[in-house]
Amino acid sequence: MFIIKVTFGVDAHDNETDFKRVTKEISERLRKYRYKLKNHFDKHLPIKNARLHPYGIIDIDVWGKMCDWWTSPEFQKISDRNKVNRSKNDTPHVSGSMSFARRYDVYLKESQERQERQNEENEEVKSPEEGPAICMYKDTHFREETGWETRELSRTTMK
């Protein structure tokens, strides 16, 4: 906790919300870093070759342990299970790597800014015709260029 306070200027005891945001950001960066490591490993397969090409400044012994994990039956089982689960998703989203929670935060911030601008300009405050849940769903499953992500969505969803 001390490192987070010094690095980010956030004290967990003073402001729990800021601390949670920082923790979430760190978790997201770690997830992306792990993704880079695994991609680097995959580019250098077979395993004997991958072991000789550690990513960045990672110690060769640590890299070897990571290679062992990625080739272990336990990791393969988890990976296979996740592939099956992803294939069952019949309504894929188009929001990229941005999580739904992050996208929702952005949506709320933009809505608040829009409302503040309307208040400053003394305009009548207009609320969106669609509620936040519908807007979120559309943002994550609809593309202006191609429309709804699947035929099923196109058929069943209001445009």
pLDDT digits (tens, 9 = 90+) for 18-71: 777 778 888 888 999 999 999 999 999 999 999 999 999 999 999 999 999 999
Q: What's the confidence (pLDDT) of residue 14?
A: 63
- In Å, the largest CA–CA distance within the chain is 68
pLDDT digits (tens, 9 = 90+) for 93-133: 666 777 777 778 888 888 888 888 877 777 665 555 667 77
Residue 66 CB neighbour total at 10 angstroms: 19
Asked if 94 contacts 144 with a C-beta cutoff of 8 angstroms, the reply is no
- The distance from CA 105 to its chain's CA centroid, rounded to whole angstroms, is 13
Asked if 31 contacts 25 with a C-beta cutoff of 8 angstroms, the reply is no
What are the residues whose beta carbons fall under 8 Å from the beta carbon of 10, sequence distance 6 or more?
4, 18, 19, 22
- Give the DSSP H or E segment for 113: helix 100-120
Q: Where are the domains of the chain?
A: 2-87, 100-156
**C-alpha dist (Å) from residue 157 to 38, 48, 96, 152:** 37, 50, 21, 8
Tokens 């994990």 -> residue: 69
Which is it for the CA torsion 131, 137, 140, 143, positive or negative?
negative
Q: Reply yes or no on whether the pLDDT at 159 is more than 50.
A: no
What band does 139 get if pLDDT is binned at 50, 70 and 90?
confident
Asked if 134 contacts 84 with a C-beta cutoff of 8 angstroms, the reply is no
User: Could you write out the DSSP letters of every residue in 14-69?
Assistant: T-HHHHHHHHHHHHHHHHHHHHHHHHHHHHT-SHHHHHTS--TT--HHHHHHHHHH
Q: What's the confidence (pLDDT) of residue 153?
A: 62
